[in-house]
């Protein structure tokens, strides 16, 4: 008779438990503006089965000029709030690096915040690639980093040959789950599906910036389309194994 008291949720669980791309650190980019929003977004991710989150705030020249000096204090504040609330989630600090002059100077000054095991999340401008991008990816690997390209499906200036070339040269690909919903447009959707069919996706990320993203993700997990992605990726996705 007390069934009505039980918490019910129709949110399906994600088939992996580590989110490798999100903007939940408070007040450092155009993601979460404050600690309350950050905690809410973490709880939404946990409802989907996430138990480890790597925070990847933007580091972009002229837009979000973050560095360890700005990101570490925000991370420590969030970690303390998560512990105070008793949330059972592991947090790690990294960043999403736009490949631009600021990145080059932070690389030079050894100021980067890579993921555990020296994976490094990088993104391109949506207008064009930085000149010398391939050499830079090669040099990062020589320095011991494993570059992960964030949401490659969203770079409309890439063609299939270019994707294959980059992946063959050791650049790992992280697709956004919401690309499979059409959220970023038809071109990103078609490219994400092509990458899926051609075994070019190594990581999935939420790229959560706000509550709307969390809601769309939760809705998508209960669809047939999502189950197809799970079937295709569950044995090759690196989300839960790369950082151990």
Binding site for Fe ion (CB under 5 A): 96, 207
Q: Which is nearer to Fe ion, 19 or 96 (CB)?
A: 96
Q: Which is nearer to Fe ion, 204 or 227 (CB)?
A: 204
Q: Which is nearer to Fe ion, 144 or 158 (CB)?
A: 158
Interatomic CA distance for residues 144 and 165, integer angstroms: 20
CB of 97 to Fe ion, least distance (A): 11
Instruction: Give the sign of the dihedral formed by CA 216, CA 35, CA 43, CA 15.
Output: positive
Cβ-proximal residues to 119 (8 Å cutoff; 6+ apart), any chain: 145, 146, 147, 148, 172, 242, 243
CB of 79 to Fe ion, least distance (A): 20
CB of 58 to Fe ion, least distance (A): 7
Interatomic CA distance for residues 220 and 193, integer angstroms: 15
Interatomic CA distance for residues 174 and 223, integer angstroms: 21
CB of 164 to Fe ion, least distance (A): 24
CB of 142 to Fe ion, least distance (A): 26
Whose CB is nearest to Fe ion? 207
CB of 22 to Fe ion, least distance (A): 7
Q: Which is nearer to Fe ion, 83 or 211 (CB)?
A: 211
Q: Which is nearer to Fe ion, 19 or 207 (CB)?
A: 207
Which residue, among 81, 96, 79, has the nearest Cα to 31 in the 3D structure?
96
Q: Which is nearer to Fe ion, 12 or 130 (CB)?
A: 130
């Amino acid at each position: 008779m007390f069934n009505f008291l039980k918490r019910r949720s129709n949110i399906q669980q994600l088939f992996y438990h580590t989110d490798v791309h999100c903007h939940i650190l408070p007040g450092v980019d155009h993601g979460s503006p404050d600690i309350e929003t950050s905690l809410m977004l973490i709880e939404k991710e946990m409802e989907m089965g996430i138990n480890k989150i790597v925070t990847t705030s933007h580091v972009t020249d002229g837009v979000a000029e973050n560095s360890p000096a700005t990101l570490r204090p925000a991370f420590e504040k969030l970690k303390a709030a998560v512990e105070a609330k008793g949330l059972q989630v592991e947090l790690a600090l990294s960043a999403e690096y736009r490949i631009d002059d600021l990145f080059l100077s932070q690389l030079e000054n050894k100021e980067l915040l890579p993921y555990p095991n020296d994976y490094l999340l990088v993104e391109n401008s949506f207008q064009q690639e930085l000149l010398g991008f391939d050499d830079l990816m090669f040099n990062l690997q020589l320095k011991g980093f494993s570059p992960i390209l964030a949401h490659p499906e969203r770079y409309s200036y890439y063609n299939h040959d270019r994707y294959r070339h980059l992946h063959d040269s050791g650049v790992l690909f992280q697709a956004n789950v919401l690309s499979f919903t059409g959220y970023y447009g038809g071109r990103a959707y078609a490219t994400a599906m092509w990458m899926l069919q051609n075994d070019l996706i190594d990581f999935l990320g939420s790229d959560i910036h706000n509550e709307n993203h969390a809601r769309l993700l939760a809705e998508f997990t209960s669809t047939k389309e999502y189950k197809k992605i799970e079937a295709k990726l569950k044995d090759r996705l690196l989300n839960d194994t790369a950082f151990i």
